[in-house]
Structure formats: structure tokens, C-alpha cells
Amino acid sequence: MTGMLDGKVALVTGAAGGIGRASARLFAEEGAKLVISDVTSEGVEQTASEVRDLGGEVVPVVADLASKADIEAMVAAAVDRWGRLDCAFNNAGITGGQIGQGGRLTADWDEEAFDRIVTINLKGTWLCMVAQIRQMQTQEGGGAIINTASLAGLQGFPTTTGYSASKHAVVGMTKTAALEYAPKIRVNALCPGYVDTPMLEDTMARRGEMILGQIPFGRLADPCEMAQMACWALSDRGSYATGQAFAVDGGFTAG
């Protein structure tokens, strides 16, 4: 059986670690040619090295999702190298804990921090979609996009107001784009549960025991489990799926 992404050109943002790195590795194993990006050169180069060790073709790009020019350069890198962009995983994002807002109630968030999280998680994802959709519209076969949202994009979580607002908006934007560009371009969202990545360290330090008690599987997810869902959604095996927010959460939202 061939790989799920054989012959496809894929873009992964937030590829320096966690879900992004696991996805870059899996996509390469499944046959994709890759453009990967992150805001740090060291991290994205490390991922690129791991992809090459797996026999994959990869172009690493340093990009800040607050920069429209950086985002357009990511898509251009794929087109310049391979002439098209078939798949895009808009995975990069930040949490409240990463910008000093962990544990703060809605009225206690700093305005600057709120603006920052919306700029990266929402506007950055939108700008990625703009560049990706414009390219996919021009090419035979269209393409597929999956955006990382969150369980906090599906329901409320105390002390996550900026993060939750941005991720709810990503889900809404995903559904809207899916309707607008069907059937040529499929657009879905991945809503990870609690995943064992550095981004979760602040949350687990504050509420880890309680969180594990709420997950029917009784454990955190491995980043590779999120990568598998993203890979399927971007592949032709997910050809009839669009406009969905896939919760991959060990049963957290089933209750």
C-alpha cells in the first residue's frame, strides 16, 4: 500500500516540536514533500534534519505568523520548489501560559497579551489560509487544509479566555471556508485533547491531577496521535470530509 500523502506537497507550521514535528516526520514517512516552518531557526532545522534522516525532501523556513510576508514566503517556497501546494497543516499557535496569562480569569487578562494570542492563533491562521487557498485555487486538483484548534475551541475552560476566543474563532473560520471552497478545497480543524508537549507544561503544573482524572483514557495524548489525524484529513482517504472539527481527546468531550 502506498503512503497516504504519496506525491503530495505539504506545508506544516509550528514544526519545531510537539505536534508539528511529529506531523512533519509522519508526513514524510507517508510520502509527502515538505515545507516546514517555525519562528525559531534551531528548532525548524532540527526537524528538517530528522525528516531528511527518514529519506524525506524538506525545505525549512523561519516564519513568524504575525508577518504576512513570512507567511506568503512559506507558500512561495513550496511553489518555487515543486510547483504546487497540495496540503497545509496550520498548526502553529501559542497558549496563555506562554505569554504569562496562565490561570488568569477573563477580567484579569492583559490587553497586550490578548492581542498577541489573537494575532498568532487567529489572524496568523487566517493569513496562512489566504495564501494557501489562493495557490490551491490555481492548480489542478485543488488541495486540503487542516487548522489546529483545540478542545477550548469547542467548549469553555476557565482561565483560558484569550486562547479560547482565538480557537473558537478558528473553528468558525474553518467551517466558513469549507463551505466557500467546496469541493475543490477541503478545510477541517483538529481539536487536540491534552497532548504531552512543552506547551502543556504550565497547565499540567497547575491542574495536572485534575485533568488526568477527567480523561477516560487516563493519560495525555502522544503528539504522534494528533499527526495521524491530520495526515488522514489531508490525504485522499479523507476525501469526503470537510468543515469538521475533529476532537482527538481520549474521550474527554464524550461525557
Active-site positions? 163
Please, what is the angle between helix 111-118 and helix 161-181, to 10°? 30
Q: At what angle do helices 161-181 and 124-138 cross, to 10 degrees?
A: 10
Beta bridge partners of 191: 247
